[in-house]
Chain A
């Protein structure tokens, strides 16, 4: 099908985890998909204003959902997926790191799971209403993480930074049976005491590779996309999601006319 862009995800969602995408309108369909013309879809794309895509790589957008709010579906779905993979439960502590456009979504969805406390590990100031741990001083950060998670029956954490200076203390702070997903671009090495911090504690570390397949394997993403769409269609939840991104810009009209 041919899709004409209306909004691009970048730069409002600058994430290494969320592949660039657009929200556009179907202007040309396959012979066996005539009804899709005129409908809106989410399609993978960096900056195209019109593109040809395979039908099974687009995410349909409900007619009643605003185009700008359709932007919220993929990052919300990815955040839902990552906490589902980490099996985050009501009452457990959730830790997420900054450094990625997906981070605010991760923090919000952790709170939606009923996690307590939700801990934001940051190198700077936190702008959200979660417990904040500044990683600038690793020793005090470690103490604070341990203190915040001391009484939690379970801890789930996701790193989106890819930075060794964050991942190292994070692993060290995890209690027994903690779960960690390394979802950031881990480009730099870091020191890990496998025996004490992973083996003896029964910690589970996952890679988060599945988070890349939102457009290529929609069958596996059906539940998360469905839930994310429902949340985006809820005014209260949509407002919370919108607070995670900047103001998106519509594609210029001249480009639209060209197509």
Chain B
């Protein structure tokens, strides 16, 4: 017959995914209370550091049981991070537990809040130190704790278990006064071991570390230091006793090499890798070495014997050495941190580049027991609002080109706070008059006439691509700021001319990459800027839609024109139609630029000589790889999706939602969990672009989207097109520094 646990498991596995979290919480709630009733313990709350996944740590509120028979409930003041052990588990190194969530930590100090009924020797209010995990309150067996002397701070006492680890190793080494001692590994255990070993009066104490970065502490203590900066760094050290406290793949061989003939090597570090290449004959036997294993569990259980004391005896000695000032640990603390910042602590440790020695979580201050720092409140960015209306003078805009896009610009500009449409022009004068009338603007008979108007500050050119250069330069020459529909131009030379021309005439220039203002892009940008992804390593974008044949003949425009089908007039097809937006906001989101690109494109279903199907592979300047695919011949629903990923997370974006998964705490969200953020319907993104441009001009600064953005966008596309012709990956040109 199945147990209750098995039945509940079966129910859970069959439940819908969105129901499972609630089921889990209910199960935990019921289970802890059932256990409390059965054992007579209380239920209390604790904030605890948990490893949720590899390289992911988070501070979480949990319910825990109060003390049972031989247990104590302790209000924690300080806990010390064991960098080696905790990083091993965090990164999933061989020989470590691989089940999550995992509660790390094993050395701390605090005050007894409650004692179990059969505990002797402890009472509420007692200062204790020992095997405490990283939690604001912890229920532990009484035999893992010892009382802290009155004149030893809880901060220093919190090192007790790490001290015992080092101390029992020193004891097994049986250091004789006058011997030469070497300590391999200058992390926290190595530093404590070095100071404990010095109490046995060696004639020479040498600290051996991976780099000189850890030399200062040893030198300050009057000890020697050797950095392992070459294959023969420790030759000739000839130590009678070597304490291996590094726990790395090669530290044992280093320790053996440090030993003199007949020496003793004590292994305190917990390196978990297999060594298949150790030459025992050469390293150990021929040199008559003795190797001693000294793990914390190799302690006497009840009574001390030669070289083996009990845990309590070692702990009491460690605290006594602190009390007598024969040992100090305070200066080993390089980072005293609030538990709420644990995510950053373990991210640094997991990176392998941490230079910290002692990291201490401060749960309560030493003097008075206060509540631990609260976890950061969640800051959710679910909706994006529109820009507030401004009461300052508005930019007076002339819109040129009144096809479907141009008319959309006029409508958006009419609702934009910083912009006022004062004039329009289109070669189709009937349309020009109609649009002008709709926004109470003037309709001009020619482009020249519009440009002659002093009450026009800027022009927005929504004209065929091949006209961009000439009209933009003409506007700039008349002192008008220039807003251009994408692309900036159809050749790199034209693009350079436009940027240079606007610079020469001192006018602002921007290109309509206003998709940056879409809610999905803005939310994604914020998440990425907050570090959700870390170092970006990959991008994938899909952009598929459908354009009917009539589109290419201008059917969606008020003035039917087939310029879109012409390579000379359009420059490219789907690239300029849609894909340029994708390229731009990938650049915007990542802050990266493509270094090289290879492209396949073709015309597979459209009555045009330009591309309607594209697939690009690119390499970004930081080495990340990107894949962008799109086309306008895909029937069915449109597909617009981006996925970006990096060293610490991933993000998936579509028009409906953003799914973000990060090892970091972003906006208060729990790490190592995929969070779904709904996207508000898109509206007013062109107005955002216009408002921002107008504000930039007013404030005399560069707009958010510049001519450089347009130039770099075109550089990517032009290089991609050329790579197809040359059938090889090509380097994307960089923006010329002298272009401004």
Q: Residues of A with Cβ closer than 8 Å to B?
A: 76, 80, 84, 87, 89-91, 109, 112-114, 116, 151, 153-154, 176-177, 223-224, 226-231, 233-234, 237
- For residue B177, which residue of chain A has the nearest CB? A112
CB-based contact B313/A153 at 8 Å = yes
Selected from B203, B306, B317, the residue in CB contact (under 8 A) with A230 is B203
Q: B294 to nearest A CB, angstroms?
A: 14
Identify the interface centre among A87, A224, A230, A233: most chain B CB within 10 Å of its CB. A230
B168-176, B352-360, B430-438: which lies at the interface: B168-176
15 contacts across the A-B interface (CB closer than 8 A): A76-B178, A80-B178, A91-B313, A91-B320, A113-B176, A113-B200, A114-B200, A151-B316, A153-B309, A154-B304, A229-B178, A231-B177, A231-B203, A233-B203, A234-B203
Complex CA distance for A112 and B199, rounded to whole angstroms: 7
Q: B411 to nearest A CB, angstroms?
A: 84
CB-based contact A87/B200 at 8 Å = no
- For residue B203, which residue of chain A has the nearest CB? A230
CB-based contact B313/A113 at 8 Å = no
Q: A228 to nearest B CB, angstroms?
A: 6
CB-based contact A177/B305 at 8 Å = yes
Q: Residues of B with Cβ closer than 8 Å to A?
A: 167, 170-171, 174, 176-180, 196, 199-201, 203-204, 240, 262, 303-307, 309-310, 313, 316-317, 320, 324
Q: B237 to nearest A CB, angstroms?
A: 15
CB-based contact B304/A90 at 8 Å = no
- For residue B304, which residue of chain A has the nearest CB? A153
- For residue B199, which residue of chain A has the nearest CB? A114
A89-B306 contact, Cβ under 8 Å, with A230-B203, A231-B203, A237-B201:
yes
CB-based contact A230/B176 at 8 Å = no
Q: Which residues of B contact A224 (CB under 8 A)?
A: 176
A90-B199 contact, Cβ under 8 Å, with A153-B313, A154-B304, A230-B204:
yes
Identify the interface centre among B171, B177, B313, B324: most chain A CB within 10 Å of its CB. B177
CB-based contact A227/B199 at 8 Å = no
Q: A70 to nearest B CB, angstroms?
A: 15
CB-based contact B171/A227 at 8 Å = no
A227-B313 contact, Cβ under 8 Å, with A113-B200, A234-B203:
no
Q: Which residues of B contact A116 (CB under 8 A)?
A: 320, 324
CB-based contact A227/B179 at 8 Å = yes
Q: Which residues of A contact B309 (CB under 8 A)?
A: 91, 153-154
Q: B528 to nearest A CB, angstroms?
A: 54
Identify the interface centre among A89, A112, A151: most chain B CB within 10 Å of its CB. A89
Selected from B171, B180, B203, B305, the residue in CB contact (under 8 A) with A90 is B171
Complex CA distance for A222 and B200, rounded to whole angstroms: 19
CB-based contact B178/A228 at 8 Å = yes
Complex CA distance for A134 and B78, rounded to whole angstroms: 44
CB-based contact B200/A112 at 8 Å = yes
CB-based contact A226/B178 at 8 Å = yes
CB-based contact A89/B201 at 8 Å = no
- For residue A84, which residue of chain B has the nearest CB? B176
Q: Which residues of A contact B176 (CB under 8 A)?
A: 80, 84, 113, 223-224, 227
Q: Which residues of A contact B320 (CB under 8 A)?
A: 91, 116
A230-B171 contact, Cβ under 8 Å, with A153-B313, A154-B304:
no
Q: Which residues of A contact B178 (CB under 8 A)?
A: 76, 80, 226-231
Complex CA distance for A57 and B324, rounded to whole angstroms: 44
Q: Which residues of A contact B201 (CB under 8 A)?
A: 112-114, 231, 237
- For residue A87, which residue of chain B has the nearest CB? B306
Q: Which residues of B contact A226 (CB under 8 A)?
A: 178
Q: Which residues of A contact B204 (CB under 8 A)?
A: 230
CB-based contact B177/A87 at 8 Å = no
Q: B173 to nearest A CB, angstroms?
A: 10
Q: Which residues of A contact B317 (CB under 8 A)?
A: 90-91, 153
A89-B171 contact, Cβ under 8 Å, with A231-B177, A231-B178, A234-B203:
yes
Nearest first, the 5 A-B pairs at minimum CB distance are A227-B178, A230-B203, A112-B201, A112-B177, A153-B304
Q: Which residues of A contact B316 (CB under 8 A)?
A: 151
Complex CA distance for A89 and B167, rounded to whole angstroms: 11
Complex CA distance for A233 and B204, rounded to whole angstroms: 11
Complex CA distance for A88 and B196, rounded to whole angstroms: 15
Q: Which residues of B contact A230 (CB under 8 A)?
A: 178, 180, 203-204
Q: A43 to nearest B CB, angstroms?
A: 22
Q: Which residues of A contact B167 (CB under 8 A)?
A: 90
Complex CA distance for A109 and B176, rounded to whole angstroms: 9
A87-B199 contact, Cβ under 8 Å, with A227-B179, A230-B204:
no
- For residue B180, which residue of chain A has the nearest CB? A230
CB-based contact A109/B307 at 8 Å = no
- For residue B262, which residue of chain A has the nearest CB? A223
Q: Which residues of B contact A237 (CB under 8 A)?
A: 201, 203
Q: Which residues of B contact A229 (CB under 8 A)?
A: 178
Complex CA distance for A227 and B196, rounded to whole angstroms: 19
Q: B181 to nearest A CB, angstroms?
A: 11
Q: A128 to nearest B CB, angstroms?
A: 16
- For residue A92, which residue of chain B has the nearest CB? B304
Complex CA distance for A119 and B503, rounded to whole angstroms: 90
A109-B177 contact, Cβ under 8 Å, with A90-B196, A153-B313:
yes
Complex CA distance for A224 and B176, rounded to whole angstroms: 9
Q: Which residues of B contact A227 (CB under 8 A)?
A: 176-179, 203
- For residue A230, which residue of chain B has the nearest CB? B203
Q: Which residues of B contact A114 (CB under 8 A)?
A: 199-201
Selected from A89, A113, A153, the residue in CB contact (under 8 A) with B177 is A113
- For residue A79, which residue of chain B has the nearest CB? B177
CB-based contact A87/B203 at 8 Å = no
Q: Which residues of A contact B313 (CB under 8 A)?
A: 91, 153
CB-based contact A89/B174 at 8 Å = yes
Q: Which residues of A contact B306 (CB under 8 A)?
A: 87, 89, 154
Complex CA distance for A68 and B309, rounded to whole angstroms: 41
Q: B266 to nearest A CB, angstroms?
A: 13
Q: Which residues of B contact A80 (CB under 8 A)?
A: 176-178
Q: B268 to nearest A CB, angstroms?
A: 15
Q: A91 to nearest B CB, angstroms?
A: 4
Q: B6 to nearest A CB, angstroms?
A: 48
Q: Which residues of B contact A223 (CB under 8 A)?
A: 176, 240, 262
Q: Which residues of B contact A84 (CB under 8 A)?
A: 176
Q: A4 to nearest B CB, angstroms?
A: 29
Q: A69 to nearest B CB, angstroms?
A: 14
Q: Which residues of A contact B310 (CB under 8 A)?
A: 153
Complex CA distance for A224 and B171, rounded to whole angstroms: 19
- For residue A77, which residue of chain B has the nearest CB? B178
Complex CA distance for A32 and B196, rounded to whole angstroms: 46
Selected from A90, A176, A231, the residue in CB contact (under 8 A) with B200 is A90
Selected from B179, B203, B307, the residue in CB contact (under 8 A) with A89 is B307
Q: B583 to nearest A CB, angstroms?
A: 68
Complex CA distance for A210 and B320, rounded to whole angstroms: 35
- For residue B313, which residue of chain A has the nearest CB? A153
Complex CA distance for A227 and B262, rounded to whole angstroms: 14
Q: Which residues of B contact A228 (CB under 8 A)?
A: 178
Q: B127 to nearest A CB, angstroms?
A: 18
